[in-house]
């Protein structure tokens, strides 16, 4: 059963949506082939099957070795703007957290205040955590809240130290509550065309797992 589950996401990966126009299809296929081997997939909304598998706040996350990052950026400059989307990392070379700073927000205007919220399937690795800390220290006009489904390698002393540094740099780190998963479901997950938007169905242990991770995070921070 488990093995089956793990294969699901990779199969749908290449499945093209049926209802896109043909020209779009060709462009997409072309694009996909021209991409360098390390691909950061960005999009408006992520497929439901990825959400259900990757965002599950389970303790043992076998097969869940990708990071999915849904983001919302509010800028308060002359004209306030809200941008949203998601990133996933296909390969281990560039993590979604890094990709966010490299592609979505490559430069911060010092005259603009940025309020950023991420909903991420799991908390950042040490390298990404350090990068987040540095970015926040360098850009005082950046506010970052990271909502995570699971804690990644939280038992490692190195990881705990990196999370503490993020906190002291002003990053708010939170564990996603059932309502947060529902928010992501409504705002970042593809709904089938022409159907009523399907209601979010919480998994069995969503609340216990949230409490488990919340306690761990409180102990670390």
| pLDDT tens digit sequence for 52-64 | 656 666 655 554 5
Per the model's pLDDT, the better-predicted residue between 82 and 31 turns out to be 82
- pTM of the entire structure? 0.74
Pairing of strands 113-122, 142-150: parallel
Which backbone phi and psi does 74 adopt, to 5 degrees?
-110, 125
Whether 97 is a known active-site residue: answer yes
Average pLDDT over residues 19-38: 43
Q: What are the strands of the beta sheet with 81-89, ordered from one edge?
A: 40-43, 81-89, 68-76, 113-122, 142-150, 172-175
Catalytic residue among 97, 156, 158, 190: 97
CA nearest 150: which of 130, 127, 176, 126?
A: 176
* Spans of all domains in the chain: 41-190+202-220
Per the model's pLDDT, the better-predicted residue between 19 and 183 turns out to be 183
What is the three-class DSSP state of 170?
A: coil
Q: Which residues contact 177 (CB under 8 A, 6 or more apart)?
A: 210
* Percent of the chain scoring above 90 in pLDDT: 38
Q: Which CATH class is domain 41-190+202-220?
A: alpha beta
């Amino acid at each position: 059963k488990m093995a089956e589950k793990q294969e699901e996401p990779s199969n749908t990966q290449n499945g093209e949506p049926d209802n896109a126009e043909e020209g779009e299809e060709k462009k997409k296929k072309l694009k996909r082939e021209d991409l360098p081997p390390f691909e950061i997939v960005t999009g408006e909304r992520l497929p439901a099957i990825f959400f259900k598998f990757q965002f599950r706040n389970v303790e043992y996350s076998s097969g869940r070795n990708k990071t999915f990052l849904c983001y919302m950026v509010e800028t308060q400059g002359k004209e306030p703007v809200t941008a949203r989307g998601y990133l996933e990392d296909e390969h281990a070379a560039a993590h979604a957290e890094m990709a966010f700073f490299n592609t979505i927000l490559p430069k911060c205007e010092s005259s603009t205040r940025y309020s950023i919220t991420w909903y991420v399937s799991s908390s950042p690795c040490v390298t990404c955590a350090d990068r987040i800390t540095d970015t926040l220290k360098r850009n005082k006009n950046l506010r970052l809240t990271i909502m995570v489904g699971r804690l990644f390698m939280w038992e490692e002393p190195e990881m705990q130290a990196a999370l503490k540094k993020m906190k002291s740099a002003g990053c708010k780190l939170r564990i996603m509550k059932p309502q947060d998963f529902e928010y992501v479901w409504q705002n970042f997950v593809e709904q089938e065309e022409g159907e009523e938007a399907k209601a979010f169905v919480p998994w069995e242990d969503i609340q216990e797992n949230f409490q488990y991770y919340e306690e761990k995070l409180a102990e670390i921070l």
